[in-house]
């Protein structure tokens, strides 16, 4: 039986609106006892908050069904430097994941500067991050997405801010989230599935599809997010399948 890694933004939701058929798709997976994990580069919220948001939109997932780039980043850093320290530019999803992993959050000589998603990037915080990185802190970011979908259209994301800090500090970040296979492997372990039996459903060629392909998964690109069908030809790789949305996968 196929298991699924399902991107959240652009696949199940767009901003604060559920994509048509998303709730029914998840309900079918549950009814058929199909393994799935909602998989997101969005590090702003904890899994519990993500789950509450989705439940409020009629999509029946729990916190244990959600794996974020914040969790992947925390797991990675804890494996590299247990009990380490970090200066964080981000929100509760990232700070909670890092503190739960045993990290100390500090501005005083941190071992890492960790950048995540937020809707309120503060100039002073970005300046502090740049100075700490220039002084020797290792630069890690949750994900490389430079933009993402919302109800108002495309908005800037973590990768765009990482580029700003990188330009100012002359240090490139290490991105943990998609398309890094590290995040894919961590999610597969948590799901208890093998790559050969798992399909990645996403809305981005440059993160979802390439991450799935490089990790040995089947891939389905849905056109309900930021990618248009005409964009596919511009990439040197193709998804295993293309659908208008998850609603089409129900037919």
Q: Which positions are catalytic?
A: 7, 9
How far, CA to CA in Å, does 114 sit from each of 43, 66, 107, 242?
A: 11, 21, 11, 34
CA dist., res. 50 & res. 147, Å (int): 19
Per DSSP, the chain holds a count of helices (H) and strands (E) of: 9, 15
Query: How many Å separate Cα 77 from the centre of its chain?
Result: 16
- The residues facing 139 across adjacent strands are 113
Q: How many CB atoms lie within 10 A of CB 185?
A: 13
- List the structure tokens of 117: 């998603």
């Amino acid at each position: 039986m196929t298991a699924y890694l399902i991107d959240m933004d652009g696949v199940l939701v767009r901003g604060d609106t559920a994509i048509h058929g998303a709730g029914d798709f998840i309900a079918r997976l549950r009814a058929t006892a199909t393994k799935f994990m909602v998989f997101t580069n969005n590090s702003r919220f904890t899994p519990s908050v993500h789950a509450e948001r989705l439940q409020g939109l009629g999509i029946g997932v729990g916190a244990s069904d959600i794996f974020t780039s914040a969790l992947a980043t925390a797991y990675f850093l804890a494996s590299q430097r247990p009990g380490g320290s970090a200066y964080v530019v981000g929100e509760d999803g990232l700070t909670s994941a890092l503190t739960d992993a045993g990290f100390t959050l500090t501005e005083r000589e941190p071992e890492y500067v960790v950048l995540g998603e937020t809707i309120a990037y503060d100039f002073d915080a970005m300046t502090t991050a740049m100075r700490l990185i220039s002084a020797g802190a290792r630069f890690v970011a949750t994900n490389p997405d430079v933009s993402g979908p919302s109800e108002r259209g495309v908005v800037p994301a973590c990768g765009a801010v990482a580029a700003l800090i990188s330009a100012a500090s002359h240090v490139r970040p290490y991105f943990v989230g998609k398309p890094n296979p590290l995040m894919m492997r961590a999610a597969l372990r948590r799901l208890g599935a093998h790559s050969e039996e798992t399909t990645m459903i996403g809305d981005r060629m440059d993160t979802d599809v390439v991450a799935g392909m490089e990790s040995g998964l089947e891939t389905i690109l849905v056109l309900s997010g930021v990618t248009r069908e005409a964009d596919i030809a511009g990439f040197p790789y193709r998804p295993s399948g293309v659908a208008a949305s998850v609603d089409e996968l129900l037919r």
